[in-house]
Amino acid sequence: MSKRQALLAFVLAAGWLTPADAALLPYEANYSVYRNGKLVGMLEIVLEIEDGRWQISSQARGTHGLARILRANDQEQVTGLLQGDSFLPERHTRHTRVAGVDDHWETRFDWEADTATVVHDGNETFVLPLQGAALDPLSMKLEMRRRLMENDPDLVFVMVDEDEVDKEHFRLLKSERIGTSLGCFETLPIEKIRRNSRRYTRAWHAPELGNLEVRVEHGKVDGDHMELRINELRVDGEAVRPGPGCNALRNDGPAPAVEAGDADSNRP
């Protein structure tokens, strides 16, 4: 194992960090968006941390085909605090624009009052119970990664979904090795449980990358199939160098490497 490979294993295994700390390493990830196998757009997700606060920003934009013609754009952002091992979102916003039509959602979390105030397009307001644990879709990404670090993760989440609060159930599938633009990874596939529905959602999380999603699939049986595939990744400011593909690995091959210096210099 090279010095750089050893550094990545050291940083991402994060044996000296708590699970929440490990999930909170700042990163920048770039994904390609496919519809029925054809490239239609790009997605960028950025996690920033400053003065004990965290912020996740997500932007998807249409770059090919009809999505480009309609100038499809989706921007989402959440800011919050870390309390123990819990991620507490404070303000979540989402702005979707397609063919010149805008859709705005804003959610403010009041943890003392245990309520979330949701405003839609500036004229509809909903006050919802947080139930002491509700999350928005972006905060759930952090919480999902933290829980996957546990031996027996609880995969039931209370979610603020626009104008209502619902429980969402997921299940962990058998580990699977998949190829990506960053190389081959052993992944933890997660599937959303839906009853009496033809829709499906699956995500592949790579433990070597702090349980970050490297592939996501969403769609409807006999309908459109959407897919996200990771292209590029920077962890704590350092680029992850692509590793070998799955065909090049016999058993457990080397992990991708971060372009960085001595491991001790990156330790807080």
Task: Locate 161 and state its tokens.
Answer: 């979904």
Q: Name the nearest CA neighbour of 235 among 262, 216, 208, 204.
A: 208
β-bridge mates for residue 189, sequence order = 204
pLDDT one-digit tens code per residue, 64-80:
888 888 788 999 999 99
Element of type H or E holding 22: helix 19-23
Residue 221 burial (CB count, 10 A):
9
Per-residue pLDDT at 21 = 58
202 CB-near residues (< 8 Å, 6+ apart): 173, 189, 190, 191, 192, 216, 217, 218
User: Tens of pLDDT along the chain (268 residues)?
Assistant: 333 333 333 333 333 344 555 567 899 999 999 999 999 999 999 999 888 789 999 999 998 888 888 788 999 999 999 887 788 999 999 999 988 888 999 999 999 999 999 999 988 999 999 998 999 999 999 999 999 998 889 999 999 988 999 999 999 999 999 999 999 999 999 999 998 889 999 999 999 999 999 999 999 998 999 999 999 999 999 999 999 999 876 555 454 444 333 333 332 2
Per-residue pLDDT at 257 = 45
**Residue 139: DSSP 8-state:** H
| CATH T-level assignment (fold) for domain 3-65+132-266 | outer membrane lipoprotein receptor (LolB), chain A (2.50.20)
Mean pLDDT of the chain: 84
The residue ranges of every structural domain in the chain are 3-65+132-266
